[in-house]
Amino acid sequence: MSAAHPKTYTAYAFTEKGGPLKPITLEWKDPQPGEIVAKVLACGVCASDMAAKYQALPGVQYPIVPGHEIVGEVVAVPTTEQRWKIGQRVGSGWHGGHCHACENCVKGDYITCEKQDINGILRHGGYAEYVTLRTEAVAAIPDGIDPAEAAPLFCAGVTTFNSLRNMSCRPPDYVAVQGIGGLGHLGVQFSKAMGFRTIALSTSSAKEELARSLGADVYIDSSKENATEALQRLGGARLIMCTAPNPQIIRDMIPALAARGELLVLALTDDATISLGSLIGKGLSIRGWPSGVASDSADTLEFAKANNIKVMVEKFPLAKANEAFDHRSSARFRAVLIP
């Protein structure tokens, strides 16, 4: 079953390792059981799309259409589909599907599936007019959310929201967010909405007004004072969420943790030399966190809507996919492709 659709459509793909995005024409394919096809309404541009460009993960094959912050309208479903209907607004993130059979899947830990499918990396993603999605990787979009603002919630949003709710900190603990960018501006808002005393950490005073408007109770500008010492004067942070890719700054945050504190690394960054013995005295932990599956994305969207979380985006037409990709790190704060 399908709505009207073209025989072919345009997508932007990496066609060789390290090369630019190029327009390609894809033939329409009806969805198979376990799949739906959506007309793309918005797709966020994420730093981890670099994995497609540089074949950074095993299994990347060219041409590959990147994009894993996808929002679209369902236009085709197989006759076997019972949940998703034509006309529904849906989205999908990094997690593009799971095998249901590996040890992690049997335990229900689908995000760590040993054979995880990945949108925009191992299967074509959302830099396109249409996208085919696996049904177990799809979440519904609540009414009243702009598709361009919903799209980043499928990666930057679910990564910050889902990791925070799975850490050991509890309100009214101090949660510090290092970096007020694409992830950080959401991390500050989610932390505040969850009831934590929220600290914004930055390397200049430029984002203080913004950070406070997003809910930061404390703003620490490391160009004016030592951030570690400032946090220590507050008794330390129970959680430091690291969203900016600066390994030296991240490493130096460890002494700023309170007892039993956790350093949560979400930024894709380079290696850092860490004194492992420094973790022992206060029982500290260093954590990473994968983004989440469709149900986690659904929770993120509902929480964001209920708490008026503001997703700050810059919009680019699909035809300017290369410009959007090049602008991904300087956008304020997430670059998003729209039709």
Q: Per residue in 120-166, pLDDT tens?
A: 999 999 999 999 999 999 999 999 999 999 999 999 999 999 999 99
Q: What's the confidence (pLDDT) of residue 5?
A: 87
Higher pLDDT, 330 or 20: 20
Q: What's the confidence (pLDDT) of residue 146?
A: 97
Q: What's the confidence (pLDDT) of residue 2?
A: 77
Q: What is the DSSP letter of 231?
A: H
Q: What is the DSSP letter of 16?
A: S
Cα–Cα distance, 43 to 92 (Å, whole number) = 10
Q: 10 Å Cβ neighbour count for 327? A: 15
Phi/psi of residue 104, each to 5°? -70, -40
List domains and CATH numbers for the chain.
8-157+291-338 (3.90.180.10), 167-288 (3.40.50.720)
Phi/psi of residue 246, each to 5°? -130, 95
- Is pTM beyond 0.85? Reply is yes
Q: What's the confidence (pLDDT) of residue 19?
A: 97
- Pair 158, 311: CB distance under 8 Å: no
Q: What's the confidence (pLDDT) of residue 269?
A: 87
DSSP string, 278-334: GGTTTT-EEEE-----HHHHHHHHHHHHHTTPPPPEEEEEGGGHHHHHHTTTTSSSE
State yes or no: pLDDT of 310 exceeds 80: yes
Cα–Cα distance, 201 to 107 (Å, whole number) = 37
Cα–Cα distance, 154 to 63 (Å, whole number) = 23
Q: Per residue in 168-181, pLDDT tens?
A: 999 999 999 999 99
- 81: its two tokens: 């589909």
Listed residue (200, 295, 328) closest to 336, CA to CA: 328
Q: Per residue in 266-284, pLDDT tens?
A: 998 888 888 899 999 999 9
- Pair 334, 185: CB distance under 8 Å: no
Number of alpha carbons in the 13 Å side-chain half-sphere of residue 27: 1
Rounded to the nearest integer, the mean pLDDT of the chain is 96
Cα–Cα distance, 314 to 271 (Å, whole number) = 30
Q: What's the confidence (pLDDT) of residue 26?
A: 98
